[in-house]
Structure 1
Amino acid sequence: MAIAAAPFRFTTLTSTATSRHYLCSSQRLFPSFSFRRPSSHLIVPKCETGKNADDNNRHLSNRKRRFSKKQSSSSLSPRKSNAEKEATAQKCRRSSKDDLHVSRADQRTKGKTECCQPTAYRSPFGLQKKGNKGTAFDAKEEQVEDAGNFQDSPFLNAVVKVYCTHTAPDYSLPWQKQRQFTSTGSAFMIGDGKLLTNAHCVEHDTQVKVKRRGDDTKYVAKVLARGVECDMALLSVESKEFWEGAEPLRFGRLPRLQDPVTVVGYPLGGDTISVTKGVVSRIEVTSYAHGSSDLLGIQIDAAINPGNSGGPAFNDQGECIGVAFQVFRSDEVENIGYVIPTTVVSHFLDDYERNGKYTGFPSLGVLLQKLENPALRECLKVPSNEGVLVRRVEPTSDASNVLKMGDVIVSFDDIRIGCEGTVPFRSSERIAFRYLISQKFSGDVAELGIVRAGEFTKVKAVLNTRVHLVPYHIEGGQPSYLIVAGLVFTPLSEPLIEEECEDHIGLKLLTKARYSLARFRGEQIVILSQVLANEVNIGYEDMSNEQVLKLNGTHIKNIHHLAHLVDSCKDKYLVFEFEDNYLVVLEREAAISASASILKDYGIPSQRSSDLSEPYIDIGGVNCPGEQHEFGDSPVSNSEFGFDGILWV
């Protein structure tokens, strides 16, 4: 997961260096750096359970009073008078503190989302699975029998506690994994034997268990789908005993400003269920900390703490209007929590229903600039106060076939785009243009109205998931690697940068990671991460984190291509060319002979990761002479408009 030092999305971050986005999960605490991606100005703190319990316990005593103040106003307790409520609210506001947290494991559809049934969840686009028993409950009274007896509300029993054991990859030593640790979070029933929670609650999971309210039995759960971008995960529990008497939650409409909201979950500070209340403060495109993406989000002022992640947020009718997932904390702000709205949740579920797996949110793949300045619009021959300027197009996107630098996009599916990059939203609101793209699915076609050299025309582009040259997350969980005579090669990724620390990566490599675009699908930046000292590689043992560009004169496309070149080489020498014309030459026969002893000396089970044992398929692409990548003038991300008025969509 990436971290951006320059705050591009949240305006509150521009005025303070102490602002942070937190995922309350079981990952490490990462420092910020000036080349961090703008869409992910995030920090993930350690979990308070498992192997990190001792470290976290040192902080618990200092934070306990603050958490207890927030929880006291929202736990299951008798109704209070207005005066008592106001006094408690003021007390909570005084106790709010700094630093943005995304509640982690202990830690993006217009209109109405359809309701769930007891034994079946309905896809928001009308798809429905039938269950074996139970009947649909449509009346709000069946969800909330008595507003005054909140503790006995049936929907509370649909919220469960999640226990996860994580085993994360060791990106510096890619043939092994790190020591396991545990964490807790929240989830809720949606029927058909399925639960919803946050993706960060079950990241790198080796075992997931869930426990119902008032029960002392933990049941094994299986992760069916994990949506990193939207921070959602779908779980299943096969045990029939777990589902006895269960009433899945109903999804409600997107709320309005100042609508009451109740967050339910199992946060830090106790083992029983916790309830916190607040109102909807804002609805806009928001940075998602875990996915380093921008999707629709609901900002609320109810307390969200570590462990609340994956828990539902309810409206006054007992309908689920979103999923708690992160909070923003700073010395200058108070009570800013975030909920994933049902529009994003329904997109995730419908994606899974359509494809049998999560495929992701699509991207247009263009870098845009606002057109607020009248002289700029006149120069570009834009007749009205609308549109955004295309500054750059990603080579891997379908938009590169129909859009050019200098085009002005004035409409998306006949919806007019304002000069600030916003479109109409509901009755009297406007929202970021990216919201329209997030409503599409991978493979959908969008019709763009553009102004080119003063002429208006319409073009069509296929929307696909974005290709990241340096990925935020590793598909499959384990990184690829190749060891040649003790030289360890691996693709550059954000987790590797975070684990190695940016000071060890080097400024030039960091610049490529932050500012370069993939020229074709499947392209990777392959680096020599370290050299395992041996007689065969004498003189090279101090090399680390250097990009390899060629092998025997052939440009390297990705790690699999490098393995193929090594295997098919018949020359006497293996000549690796790195940045700044640095050469590493190995005698091929000697390198092959030394491999077995090197693996034995360092306790490495295999010379390469299992994915590199598959036959290599040429992915195409171009072999460019000279510099491998052209640098852009802005960080590559899904960030909202930033300081210089740019937007990747």
Structure 2
Amino acid sequence: MSIAVTNCCLSAISSTVKFRCSASSSRRLLATNSSVACVASKAFKHNRKHSKRGSPDDRTNNKDREAVSQKKSAGRAKDERSSPFHADAKSGNAKPFGAQRKDNKSFQFDLKEQPVGAGNLQGAAFLNAVVKVYCTHTAPDYSLPWQKQRQFTSTGSAFMIGNGKLLTNAHCVEYQTQVKVKRRGDDTKYVAKVLARGVDCDIALLAVESEQFWEGAEPLQLGHLPHLQEAVTVVGYPLGGDTISVTKGVVSRIEVTSYAHGSSDLLGIQIDAAINPGNSGGPAFNDRGECIGVAFQVYRSEEAENIGYVIPTTVVTHFLSDYERNQKYTGFPSLGVLLQKLENPALRECLKVPCSQGVLVRRVEPTSDANRVLKEGDVIVSFDNVKVGCEGTVPFRSNERIAFRFLISQKFAGDVAELGIIRNGESMQVQVVLNPRVHLVPYHVDGGQPSYLITAGLVFTPLSEPLIDDECEDSIGLKLLTKARYSSAKFKGEQIVILSQVN
């Protein structure tokens, strides 16, 4: 493919560093897919040779959409070769989203009642809030941007949260042309509308207008962030089954983890309960019947077993609050800097940092607000009066620490953060406006259809990760690929435009 590079003002972007790891392990998105055509869409990468995002795995059998992603350091990666995660599911007193319907009562589980155990789970009322999702996808052809690829179908899970709304995974409804849902024990499919998709957090909000669908429905209540070894039950419709499936396990770990679909780092719950293709978007419950998160991906490796991931209610609540405040999803904010740990005592002495804390600012993105107040060589020692350790961690609950990025993810776009920094040995306080990070080479194309320009038989289109997937990295060229992965936008609206076709 002939390639020419130029910069133009088409959309806002920024850059991240992308790393590769062993192909023997992978993170998979779990939304069961089946094709309606002989050849499935190339844009859903897990079915393709160069898989990078949640997409159909097999065109003749129902399998889950696979996408692989892992983010290291400031870099972000999302292809099956770069991450061992395959995706298929915060804390606070979260409540069902929005006002409840008049004919529906909010589901309140009395903590004094008998816990939901293995013996009485089958008749639990909250299982009826879990529905099966049927989606028809039509992905764009990034190599020929004026065309669409063939349609294919997938199945996943979702659950009711009140006010006529459902929650599922974003990768379950990616490039959707039609979405339908079916309740447990019902044989009727109802049309659902996608209200918002959070690509970075892999959450989508659906709405069903049919009154019949909501008859007798009880929305789920979002619970607290669980503790280690707490029992967890995952409910959904895996492997294309028509009846509900229940698997049990415990909470193994809670930490900032890589989200395969959005190539982002957010809080995640690691569990050992089985999560299979089709469990995508299904809820995970504690032993009191409260929803503690959304099942969304698994870790598959020759060296690990029974590792699944759940999006915690803190992330879900942030997504819902963002939608309520802005009537759309704006995304999780970013500080806009590349950071380095300060574990080396000699480096701390050179930077005149008096104690074992803080992280070094290696690079500031020119398009971020941090570029106004931060400089390379600054040491960030606190974020909103929370001290940052030399390993880039902050206190989390009792006797735990978590990555510094967790504090940033608690903010909303446009919020102001107060940073304590050390510059040339002097301590000072600065304020930074947090906004979502944009990429020089975007990981997802807004609107689902890439832009292009045809002139004199030459086809120009912005470089994006889906286009790199379609064309294969080897054909892109090392120099262009390096610029795409390691460069930052120098001004708002900068893009890398390539000559993709010569007709």
Query: Could you tell me the TM-score, scaled by structure 2's length?
Result: 0.87
1:134-145 map, 5 Å? 134-140=104-110
What is the rounded CA distance, in whole Å, between the counterparts of 2:163 and 2:393 in structure 1? 38
The one of 200, 214, 230 equivalent to 1:243 is 214
Give the AA of the match of 1:103: D
Distance 1:332 1:236, change over 3 A: same
Q: CA deviation at 1:131?
A: 2.8
Give the AA of the match of 1:53: T
Is the CA contact 1:489–1:526 (under 8 Å) kept in the aligned structure 2?
yes
Q: CA deviation at 1:521?
A: 1.5
Is the CA contact 1:280–1:300 (under 8 Å) kept in the aligned structure 2?
yes
What is the rounded CA distance, in whole Å, between the counterparts of 2:207 and 2:112 in structure 1? 25
Distance 1:31 1:422, change over 3 A: farther
Could you say which residue in structure 1 is the equivalent of 2:422? 451
Q: CA deviation at 1:21?
A: 1.3
Q: CA deviation at 1:512?
A: 1.1
Bigger proportion of residues as helix? 1
What is the rounded CA distance, in whole Å, between the counterparts of 2:444 and 2:113 in structure 1? 38
What is the rounded CA distance, in whole Å, between the counterparts of 1:306 and 1:314 in structure 2? 19
Give the AA of the match of 2:468: I
Q: CA deviation at 1:115?
A: 2.9
**Is 1:281 matched up with 2:252?**
yes
1:208-227 map, 5 Å? 208-227=179-198
Is the CA contact 2:106–2:219 (under 8 Å) kept in the aligned structure 1?
no
Give the AA of the match of 2:60: A
**Is 1:324 matched up with 2:331?**
no
1:553-592 map, 5 Å? none
Is the CA contact 2:394–2:402 (under 8 Å) kept in the aligned structure 1?
yes
Is the CA contact 1:197–1:232 (under 8 Å) kept in the aligned structure 2?
yes
Could you say which residue in structure 2 is the equivalent of 1:508? 479
Is the CA contact 1:144–1:153 (under 8 Å) kept in the aligned structure 2?
no
What are the Cα deviations for residues 364-413 of structure 1, in whole angstroms up to 9, with x where unaligned? 01011100011110110000100000010000000000000000000000
Moved more, 261-270 or 471-480: 261-270
**Is 1:113 matched up with 2:93?**
yes
What is the rounded CA distance, in whole Å, between the counterparts of 2:215 and 2:267 in structure 1? 35
Could you say which residue in structure 2 is the equivalent of 1:186? 157
Is the CA contact 2:180–2:190 (under 8 Å) kept in the aligned structure 1?
yes
Could you say which residue in structure 2 is the equivalent of 1:6? 20
What is the rounded CA distance, in whole Å, between the counterparts of 1:272 and 1:289 in structure 2? 27
Bigger proportion of residues as strand? 2
Distance 1:5 1:365, change over 3 A: closer
What is the rounded CA distance, in whole Å, between the counterparts of 2:170 and 2:409 in structure 1? 18
What is the rounded CA distance, in whole Å, between the counterparts of 2:169 and 2:220 in structure 1? 16
**Is 1:483 matched up with 2:454?**
yes
Distance 1:32 1:4, change over 3 A: farther
1:399 is paired with a residue of what secondary structure? helix
Could you say which residue in structure 1 is the equivalent of 2:88? 103
**Is 1:335 matched up with 2:349?**
no
Give me the CA root mean square deviation.
2.2
2:483 is paired with a residue of what secondary structure? helix
Give the AA of the match of 1:192: N
What are the Cα deviations for residues 454-497 of structure 1, in whole angstroms up to 9, with x where unaligned? 00000000001112010000001111011001100000000000
Q: CA deviation at 1:264?
A: 0.2
What is the rounded CA distance, in whole Å, between the counterparts of 1:312 and 1:251 in structure 2? 10
1:524 is paired with a residue of what secondary structure? strand
What is the rounded CA distance, in whole Å, between the counterparts of 1:160 and 1:3 in structure 2? 38
Is the CA contact 2:109–2:290 (under 8 Å) kept in the aligned structure 1?
no
Could you say which residue in structure 1 is the equivalent of 2:80? none
Q: Percent identity, aligned pairs only? A: 73
Is the CA contact 1:4–1:42 (under 8 Å) kept in the aligned structure 2?
no
What is the rounded CA distance, in whole Å, between the counterparts of 1:318 and 1:294 in structure 2? 28
The one of 135, 160, 166 equivalent to 2:137 is 166
Moved more, 264-273 or 165-174: 264-273
Distance 1:453 1:419, change over 3 A: same
What is the rounded CA distance, in whole Å, between the counterparts of 1:312 and 1:55 in structure 2? 21
1:392 is paired with a residue of what secondary structure? strand
What are the Cα deviations for residues 24-56 of structure 1, in whole angstroms up to 9, with x where unaligned? 3452237899xxxxxxx96645344xxx12596
Q: CA deviation at 1:4?
A: 5.4
Query: Could you tell me the TM-score, scaled by structure 1's length?
Result: 0.68
What is the rounded CA distance, in whole Å, between the counterparts of 1:452 and 1:141 in structure 2? 51
What is the rounded CA distance, in whole Å, between the counterparts of 1:142 and 1:238 in structure 2? 35
Q: CA deviation at 1:143?
A: 8.9
Q: CA deviation at 1:138?
A: 2.8
The runs of 5 or more residues in structure 2 that have no matched partner are 1-15, 34-43, 65-82
Q: CA deviation at 1:132?
A: 2.0
1:42-61 map, 5 Å? 44=54, 46-48=56-58, 52-53=59-60
Could you say which residue in structure 1 is the equivalent of 2:437? 466
2:239 is paired with a residue of what secondary structure? coil
Q: How many residues end up aligned between the 2 structures?
A: 458
Give the AA of the match of 2:497: V
Distance 1:146 1:31, change over 3 A: closer
What are the Cα deviations for residues 49-100 of structure 1, in whole angstroms up to 9, with x where unaligned? xxx125969xxxxxxxxxxxxxxxxxxxxxxxxxxxxxxxxxxxxxxxx964
The runs of 5 or more residues in structure 1 that have no matched partner are 8-15, 34-40, 58-97, 122-127, 533-649
1:339 is paired with a residue of what secondary structure? strand
Q: CA deviation at 1:530?
A: 0.9
Distance 1:414 1:472, change over 3 A: same
Is the CA contact 1:4–1:32 (under 8 Å) kept in the aligned structure 2?
no
**Is 1:24 matched up with 2:30?**
yes
Distance 1:429 1:521, change over 3 A: same
What is the rounded CA distance, in whole Å, between the counterparts of 2:300 and 2:113 in structure 1? 33
2:323 is paired with a residue of what secondary structure? helix
Q: CA deviation at 1:17?
A: 4.5
Could you say which residue in structure 2 is the equivalent of 1:363? 334
Q: CA deviation at 1:524?
A: 0.6
1:239-278 map, 5 Å? 239-268=210-239, 270-278=241-249
The one of 99, 105, 114 equivalent to 1:129 is 99
Is the CA contact 2:115–2:289 (under 8 Å) kept in the aligned structure 1?
no
Give the AA of the match of 2:144: L
Q: CA deviation at 1:150?
A: 1.1
Q: CA deviation at 1:5?
A: 5.2
Q: CA deviation at 1:129?
A: 2.3
Q: CA deviation at 1:102?
A: 1.2
What is the rounded CA distance, in whole Å, between the counterparts of 1:137 and 1:395 in structure 2? 48
What are the Cα deviations for residues 102-143 of structure 1, in whole angstroms up to 9, with x where unaligned? 119xxxx55x22333xxxx3xxxxxx4253233334333799
Give the AA of the match of 2:146: W
Could you say which residue in structure 1 is the equivalent of 2:286? 315
What is the rounded CA distance, in whole Å, between the counterparts of 2:334 and 2:116 in structure 1? 45
The one of 394, 399, 424 equivalent to 2:370 is 399
What are the Cα deviations for residues 521-544 of structure 1, in whole angstroms up to 9, with x where unaligned? 111101110100xxxxxxxxxxxx
Distance 1:17 1:488, change over 3 A: closer
Is the CA contact 2:104–2:217 (under 8 Å) kept in the aligned structure 1?
no
What is the rounded CA distance, in whole Å, between the counterparts of 1:307 and 1:18 in structure 2? 23
What is the rounded CA distance, in whole Å, between the counterparts of 2:340 and 2:436 in structure 1? 22
Is the CA contact 1:372–1:419 (under 8 Å) kept in the aligned structure 2?
yes
What is the rounded CA distance, in whole Å, between the counterparts of 1:334 and 1:387 in structure 2? 35
What is the rounded CA distance, in whole Å, between the counterparts of 1:139 and 1:46 in structure 2? 38
Is the CA contact 2:157–2:236 (under 8 Å) kept in the aligned structure 1?
yes
2:99 is paired with a residue of what secondary structure? coil
Give the AA of the match of 2:45: R
Could you say which residue in structure 2 is the equivalent of 1:619? none
